[in-house]
Structure 1
Amino acid sequence: MIKKTLLIFPLLILFVSVILPQEMPPEAAKAYNEGNQFLKSGNYDEAVKKYKEALNHSKDYRIYYQLGVTLKKQNKLDEAEAAFKSSIESNPNFDLAYNGLGGTYFQAGKYQEAVESFKKFEQLTKQKAIKEQAQLNIARSYVKLAEANKKDGNYQKAIENLNEAIKYNKLDAAYVLLATTYYENGDYDKAIENADIVINMKTTKLKGAAYYYKGLAFKQKNDITKAKENFELAKRDPQYKRLVEYELKLLK
C-alpha cells in the first residue's frame, strides 16, 4: 500500500476576458460580465444566475464555459459536464472547454473520459506552457486509471496505462505505482528498476515509497543485506517508518 497521496489534481482555471456589447447581444454581454464578477468574488450562486440569464439572450460558447467553471466549483459535476459539452458544441475549437470537461471527468472519477478530453485540449492549445499542463493532466488521468486496474487485479492493464502516462509526463507517482505493481505481480527486478528511477529524481516526495518497495523486492530475492539497506533509507520518511520497522524486525 502506498502511504503517500500520489496525486493532487490542479484544475487549470483561465478566465475569459470581459466581453464588449458588440461581441454578443448587449443583454447577454452585461449578464455575462456580471457573472464573471460574482465568480471572481466567490459568489457562485449569483454567478450561475447571471450566466443562465446571459444564455437566454445568446448561446455563446464563452458563457457555457464560465457556467461550467462555476458549477464545477460547486461540485455540481453533471451540470458542469453538460455546460462544457454545450460550450464545445457551440465552438468545437475552443480549447479551454476540453480542459474544463477533462477536469470535471477527473473529479467524477471518469478517468478514461478525462484522458480523451485532455488529449483534445493538448492538441488544440497553442501555448507551450499550457500544452505541458495538458500533458501532465493526461498523465495523471492515466495513473488514476492504473490505480483502478491494479485494484481490480488487472496488473497488465495497469502497467499499460502507467507506460502511457510516462509518455506524456515522467511522473514520480507513475514510476512508484509501476514499482508496486511489478512487485505485487512478482517481477522484482522491474520493481527495483522503477523504484530506482524515483530515487534518482532530483525533486520528488516519493523516495520513501521507492526505497520501501525496493527493500521489499530485495527481500523477495533473498538479498537481505540490500533489503535492510533500503528499508533503513525508507525509514527516514515518517510515512513509512512503522512499516519499515516491522519489516526490519522480521529480518532479524
Structure 2
Amino acid sequence: MDKINKGIELMKQQNFEEAAKVFNESIEENPNDSLGYINFGNLLLHMNDLERAERFYKKGIELDPKAATAHYGLGNVFFEQAQFNKAQKSFQQAIDLGLEEGDVFFMLGLTFQNQDHQKLALPYFQRAEELSLGDEVVLFQYGLSLAQTNQIDLAQEKFSRVLEINSNHSDAYYNIGVTYLYQEDITRALESFSKALDIQPDHLLAANGKEKVEEMLNQQ
C-alpha cells in the first residue's frame, strides 16, 4: 500500500496523528506531487485547522492547477469560514475540471442558498440528488430551496421523501406542515407541526406554527 492510501486508511480509522506523519513522509519523498498536499489538506480540514488546510490546498493547486479535488477542498475551507462567494468559485472550478460527485454539487447549491440565491441553487441540488440517491440531507436542502422559490408541491414531495428515509426528522415535519398551510390544508398542517413536536418538544418554529393553526381552527 502506498503512503497516500495508507494515510487515507489511517484517517478513516480516526488515527489523525499517524495519518499526518504518513502524508508528511509522502510529501518529503514526492515534493512535486500534488496528491500529498491535497490529502494533508483533507486531514487538516477534518481537524478544523482551516488556515493550514488552505495553504496545503493552494500548494496542491500550484503544482497541479487541474486538480479538481484541491479546488473542492479549498471551497470547503472557504465555506467553513462563511466566505460563500469564494467557496462558490472554488466549487464551480472543481466541477468545471470534471469532478462529478454529489458532494460538490450539493456544496455549490449551499453556497448559493447561503447567499439567498435560491433559484441559482436549484439545479445544483437537483444534480446532487441525482448523484446521491436517498441522501436525506440533500433532499431536505433541495426542498427548502424549492419552498423559497414558491414551488410548494415539489418542496412537499422532497420533504415527504426525507420522511420516508428518516421518520424522526422533525425539521422535515415542520416544513411539510408549512407547505400544507400554503395549500390551505390546516388539518394536515396541524398534524405535521404536532409530529415535529412529538419528536423534538423544543422545536420553537413547530410550536409557533401549531399555536397559529389552533387559533385559526378556533376562529372557524
State whether structure 2 residue 77 is matched by structure 1 residue 104.
yes
TM-superposed CA distance for 1:86, in Å, is 0.8
Letter paired with 1:245: K
Contact 2:75 2:91 in 1 (8 A): yes
Query: Is 1:89 aligned with 2:62?
Result: yes
So what's the TM-score if we normalise by structure 1? 0.62
1:42 to 2:46 alignment: no
- Provide the aligned length of Structure 1 versus Structure 2: 188
Pick one of 188, 195, 203 that aligns with 1:237. 195
Q: In the alignment, which residue of structure 1 is the partner of 2:186?
A: 228
SS in 2 for 1:56: helix
Question: In the superposition, relative to structure 1, how do residues 38 and 173 fare at CA in structure 2: closer, same or farther (>3 Å)?
Answer: closer
Partner in structure 1 of residue 39 of structure 2: 66
Q: In structure 1, what is the Cα distance between the partners aligned to 2:187 and 2:145? A: 21
Structure 2 gap segments, 5+ residues each: 127-138, 164-171, 198-204
Paired residue for 1:204? 162
Amino acid at match of 1:163: K
Aligned mate of 2:119, from 163, 175, 178 = 163
Scaled by the length of structure 2, the TM-score of the pair is 0.70
Aligned positions of 1:111-150 closer than 5 A:
111-125=84-98, 130-143=100-113, 145-146=114-115
- Given that 1:125 and 1:131 are in contact with CA atoms closer than 8 Å, whether structure 2 keeps it comes out as no
Aligned-partner Cα distance in 2 for 1:95–1:34: 21
Counterpart secondary structure, 1:203: helix
Whose helix fraction is larger, Structure 1's or Structure 2's?
A: 2
- CA distance in 2 between counterparts of 1:50 and 1:176 reads 42
Distance 2:72 2:112 in 1: 15
Larger RCO of the pair (alpha carbons < 8 Å, separation 6+): 1
**Candidates 207, 212, 216, aligned match of 1:247:** 212
Report the Cα offset of residue 163 of structure 1: 0.5
SS in 2 for 1:235: helix
Give me the identity figure in percent: 19
